[in-house]
Amino acid sequence: MLFQVGGQGSRPTFFEMSAAQQLPSSLRAALTYSIGVLALRRPFLHKVLDYEDEFFAALTLILETHSLRTTDASFAESLYGLRRRAVNIQMKKEDLRLETGNRIQHSGIRRRQKLLSVVFLVVLPYLKSKLHSIYNKEREAALQASLWGNVNESFDEIENLGDVGTSFASTSGLDTDLSVRTRFRKRMHKVVATCYPWLHAGSEGLAFAYQLLYLLDATGFYSPGLHALGLQVCRATGQELMDTSSRISKIRSNERERLRGPPWLKAVQGVLLTCGYAVLDYAQTGLIAAVFGFKMMEWWYQSAEERMLAPTVYPPPPPPPPPKVAKEGIPLPADRTLCPLCSQKRANPSAITVSGFVFCYACVFKYVSQYNRCPVTLVPASVDHIRRLFHDL
């Protein structure tokens, strides 16, 4: 086999890694859709949609931190039974053959790698989303300026000219600060609009190269982020899956033991801590259900919309009837290769678009220039209706 498609061994398949990578985007789409539907009845939820990037970044920060702390995997990877392992490459020398070989060993991830994993899983996607939104705004502004001109700036200039005589003395310092900030922000947005396509293309191309090499079993790193962190994703063994629950309970019991204060305060803190863990567990289950429910609804409504919006295929219309030969027109010869005007074989065949009959170019041009009509059907025509035919070339 050229690449792995089965489910054997500790190395995850390409499809498992791809599904785990696409799960956060599906989760975000499901949450955005759900909040958008609820906002129709609860308008205050529109504030959440206004800060969609920040809200989703905070949610993923909680989920990823908890998942890396308890399972040594991201939230999506833990759902697929995957774990992150640190890669230690050791050089082994053979005394007899004097050859070197690489031996890769996996170990648990360190605290520094967990923190950097949070950066790659939460911070970088958040920054990418903000840069993408800035790029879209600048692109729309440039398109609007190319079509309608810079209308906003012209209005601002008119307003500023009208307010010069009234508020220049009192707000000159504030306007200067605001203008400096505005110009700096515009310059930064222009820099983002110029550099973002190249950065996006480079990152996507590098990610595609890693995925292709992983598919061909040429590398053990699925993404450049995992390679930079020195981490590989492996399947969790049965014992590791069984130890996960005991590890979570041990971490939570240790946190309860760290509570300090009077007994009543410890009791209140313990209740709050238990409620927080319960909410986190239910939130994880609810998010999983939301993702699968959203994908089911998307498939259901998308198939229904495709059936409704599919264009109706009608049979082609029948060809128009052939033009009728006028009684006073020139009769058609029996041999269709002859010109009706000169009764000779057609030279430079040309057709009249109003009737479709073919003549010699010199004959039909002279006739139409003189009579302004078709020689056969007597339909009004001009020299502009003559078309040269090149089927004989």
Q: What are the residues whose beta carbons fall under 8 Å from the beta carbon of 199, sequence distance 6 or more?
A: 131
Q: Which residues of 172-190 are buried (b: 16+ CB within 10 A; e: fewer)?
A: eeeeeeeeeeeeeeeeeee
Residue 145: band (very low, low, confident or very high) from pLDDT cuts 50, 70, 90: confident
* 80-94, 158-172, 222-236, 262-276: least confidently modelled range: 158-172
* Whole-prediction pTM: 0.57
Specify the DSSP element, H or E, that contains 83.
strand 82-93
Residue 94: band (very low, low, confident or very high) from pLDDT cuts 50, 70, 90: very low
Res. 60: pLDDT tops 80: yes
Res. 91: pLDDT tops 50: no
Q: Say if CB 64 and CB 74 are below 8 A apart.
A: yes
What percentage of the chain's residues is helix, strand, coil (to nearest 5)?
65, 10, 25
Chain centroid to CA 194: 19
* 153-162, 184-193, 351-360: least confidently modelled range: 153-162
CA–CA separation, 358 vs 353, rounded Å? 10
Measured from the Cβ of residue 102, the count of other Cβ atoms closer than 10 Å reads: 8
pLDDT of residue 205: 92
Stronger pLDDT, 150 or 181, i.e. the higher one:
181
* 125-134, 202-211, 260-269: least confidently modelled range: 260-269
The set of long-range contacts for 292-300, using a CB threshold of 8 Å and a minimum separation of 24, is 293/30, 294/26, 294/29, 294/30, 294/33, 294/34, 295/26, 295/30
Tokens of 196: 């973002």
Q: Do β-strands 349-352 and 82-93 pair in parallel, antiparallel, or remain unpaired?
A: unpaired
CA–CA separation, 377 vs 380, rounded Å? 9
Residue 175: band (very low, low, confident or very high) from pLDDT cuts 50, 70, 90: low
